[in-house]
A and B are shown apart, each in its own frame.
Chain A
Amino acid sequence: MQILLATSTEQFHNREIELESLRDQLQALGASTDVLVLPFSMEDPHVLAQLASYRMLDVRHFADCMVSLSPPTHMLRHPNKVLTFSEDGPQMVDSWDRKYGAIETKPMQAIRNLIVHAEQVATEEAALGICFSHHVARRMQSVVNSVVIDATNLAFQLVGKKAKNPRLAGKVVA
């Protein structure tokens, strides 16, 4: 099984160790992995163009499964796309709100609306959402079929094997 792990520079610093750990676990479980890292800047004039650029890349035939580990890699297209939603701001619009939420001009509102719409489309087309908290899962369950798991069991979930600790193995919430 080939699994493509996708991440962006937006949250790469915070998740580099997590990514390496996941990669190692997947390989130990027999999966082949590769990692793509795309640049991203939250500077407002460029956000929408960057989201479009992610949609324009074609990764559909490169792997059996693509896992988005940080926004906005969930914008990438893949027939077996798995999204992961961390505890702190599962979507890009959360980052937008943290940075620009107080600026209520019409252009900024228009950009925000487009981000929300783009995320809705990209999320709905995913095969699965993996949430690391029930709070996030409740928020996502109307958009994508989701499971809640402990982050340490992500690799087991992705390769469809039984986790070492069944209590944390993954519970379907939607």
Chain B
Amino acid sequence: MKIFVVNNMVPFVRGGAEELSNHLIQQLRDHGHRVELIRVPFKYEPPEQIYSEMLACRMMQIEDADLVIALKFPAYLIPHPNKVLWLVHQYRQAYDMWEAGSSNIPSTPNGIELKRCITEADSDCFKNVRRMCAISPVIQQRLKRFNGLDSELLRTPLNAPEQFVEGEYGDYIFCGGRINQTKRQYLLVEAMRYTSSKCKLVIAGPADSSSDGDKLQELVQRYGLSDRVHLDVGFHPREKIASWASNALACAYLPIDEDSLGYVSMEANQAAKGVLTVTDSGGILDLVFHDETGWVCEPDPIALAAQLDRIHEKRSETIAMGKNAKKRWLAMGINWANTIERLVA
């Protein structure tokens, strides 16, 4: 089958969606399909530019494809009679972020008109796709609420799962992923000052801005935690991240209201590690069940400190939790083979 994967791009910016599309292409090719990637540049400032981008996508033509798999707004507006939507992003600033007052679309008559056009273009596109899948329940709910549409849940699989193995269960808790305010690594550092055990914390990943990394470093210094908190800010090879996760005692991930299960928590479970998270972390809570596959507490340094001590002091319970997490994760059947089968069905 000849397949086009359609995504948009902000040139020189790479994130989870780019990683997803690259792995999707590789997996489709591994399953014997001929695949090409379309990358449409997207510029959402000023907001009025979005009209041109939507129209441009609707005027484009894809020739000679048996199937199109589209991931994001506005690239998913490119027409094709056999299009499957695997929705990573709508333009949230026209939906929930508009309601939350955190949209770049102004609350003016022109802004309201733009918002209406985006919603209408989306709804019109969604009605004509052959299949509508969403990567998380949150995205499904958003689609239902704002566009009145049902969709299938098709979660993003873990990439290169073979790199994440059940290692040595060392003496540290590992927190990977991008470093920024919404991922709340600072909350873990603050919690470490209240711990009574000798537990250690490793935080490693790229900082969104230099100030994000500096703030974390400053906290470690201020609380005198240098001997127990290891900060490694930067972009690390995947092998290194996998090694940290594979040899940790447990992992921690505390994002604010994340849509998906989170690569960090999926990688932890693949490596047979329980995950420490908090009650408002969103989609992670579909994977982390308190006292079964990890630890869920309030997003508060003292509550987190109690869990960190418990993870460290009740080592055999922690290891058992990790093994159970892996068992449940594998039973969910979220892998590339199943995903490709559903996308091309």
Shortest distance between the CB of A16 and any CB in chain B (Å): 9
Let me know if B11 and A59 touch, CB within 8 A: yes
Q: Mark each residue of chain B from 39 to 75: 1 if its CB lies under 8 Å from any CB of chain A, else 0.
A: 1110100000100110111011111100000000000
Let me know if B63 and A42 touch, CB within 8 A: yes
Let me know if A43 and B12 touch, CB within 8 A: no
Given contacts A56-B52, A56-B55, contact A36 B11 (CB under 8 A): yes
Let me know if B63 and A53 touch, CB within 8 A: no
In the assembled complex, the Cα of A59 lies from the Cα of B9 at a distance in Å of: 11
Shortest distance between the CB of A15 and any CB in chain B (Å): 12
Q: Give the segment of A44-52, A101-109, A130-138, A161-169 that binds chain B.
A: A44-52
Let me know if A39 and B78 touch, CB within 8 A: yes
Q: Mark each residue of chain A from 32 to 73: 1 if its CB lies under 8 Å from any CB of chain B, else 0.
A: 101111111111001001101110111101110000000000
Given contacts A57-B41, A63-B12, contact A40 B63 (CB under 8 A): yes
Shortest distance between the CB of A104 and any CB in chain B (Å): 24
In the assembled complex, the Cα of A36 lies from the Cα of B56 at a distance in Å of: 15
Interchain CB contact (< 8 A) of B38 among A32, A37, A52: A37
Q: Is B320 an interface residue (CB 8 A)?
A: no
In the assembled complex, the Cα of A38 lies from the Cα of B6 at a distance in Å of: 9
Q: Is B295 an interface residue (CB 8 A)?
A: no
Let me know if A57 and B52 touch, CB within 8 A: yes
Let me know if A35 and B39 touch, CB within 8 A: yes
In the assembled complex, the Cα of A38 lies from the Cα of B75 at a distance in Å of: 10
Q: For A12, list chain B residues within 8 Å (CB).
A: 36
Given contacts A53-B56, A58-B49, contact A37 B63 (CB under 8 A): no
Q: Is B231 an interface residue (CB 8 A)?
A: no
Q: For A53, list chain B residues within 8 Å (CB).
A: 55-57, 59-60
Given contacts A50-B59, A56-B53, A56-B55, contact A38 B11 (CB under 8 A): no
Interchain CB contact (< 8 A) of B63 among A34, A41, A61: A41
In the assembled complex, the Cα of A42 lies from the Cα of B62 at a distance in Å of: 10
Count how many chain A residues have C-beta atoms less than 8 Å from C-beta atoms of the other chain: 28
Let me know if B37 and A37 touch, CB within 8 A: yes
Let me know if A57 and B53 touch, CB within 8 A: yes
Let me know if A58 and B40 touch, CB within 8 A: no
In the assembled complex, the Cα of A130 lies from the Cα of B223 at a distance in Å of: 59
In the assembled complex, the Cα of A40 lies from the Cα of B38 at a distance in Å of: 10
Let me know if B40 and A38 touch, CB within 8 A: yes
Let me know if A36 and B9 touch, CB within 8 A: yes
Specify the main secondary structure of chain A where it touches its partner. Answer: mixed
Q: For B329, list chain A residues within 8 Å (CB).
A: none
Let me know if A39 and B37 touch, CB within 8 A: no
In the assembled complex, the Cα of A37 lies from the Cα of B49 at a distance in Å of: 20
Q: Is A93 an interface residue (CB 8 A)?
A: no
Interchain CB contact (< 8 A) of B12 among A34, A38, A57: A34
Within 8 A of B (CB), among A74-129: none
Let me know if A9 and B62 touch, CB within 8 A: yes
Shortest distance between the CB of B25 and any CB in chain A (Å): 11
Given contacts A4-B11, A36-B9, A36-B11, contact A59 B41 (CB under 8 A): yes
Q: Is A157 an interface residue (CB 8 A)?
A: no
Q: Is B86 an interface residue (CB 8 A)?
A: no
Given contacts A57-B53, A58-B52, contact A36 B41 (CB under 8 A): yes
Q: Is A2 an interface residue (CB 8 A)?
A: yes
Let me know if A2 and B55 touch, CB within 8 A: no
Q: Is B4 an interface residue (CB 8 A)?
A: yes
Given contacts A38-B38, A58-B43, A58-B49, contact A46 B9 (CB under 8 A): no
Let me know if B56 and A57 touch, CB within 8 A: yes
Q: For B55, list chain A residues within 8 Å (CB).
A: 53, 56
The residue of chain B having its C-beta at the shortest distance from the C-beta of A55 within the complex is B56
Let me know if B61 and A46 touch, CB within 8 A: yes
Q: For A62, list chain B residues within 8 Å (CB).
A: 10-12, 41, 43
**Interchain residue pairs with CB less than 8 A apart (19):** A2-B11, A12-B36, A34-B11, A37-B36, A38-B60, A39-B60, A40-B60, A41-B63, A41-B64, A43-B61, A46-B59, A50-B60, A54-B56, A56-B53, A57-B53, A58-B43, A58-B52, A58-B53, A62-B12
Given contacts A38-B38, A39-B63, A63-B12, 10 further A-B contacts (CB under 8 A): A2-B11, A32-B12, A36-B41, A37-B39, A41-B63, A56-B52, A56-B55, A56-B59, A58-B52, A59-B11
Residues in A lying within 8 Å of B, measured CB to CB: 2, 4, 9, 12, 32, 34-43, 46, 49-50, 52-54, 56-59, 61-63
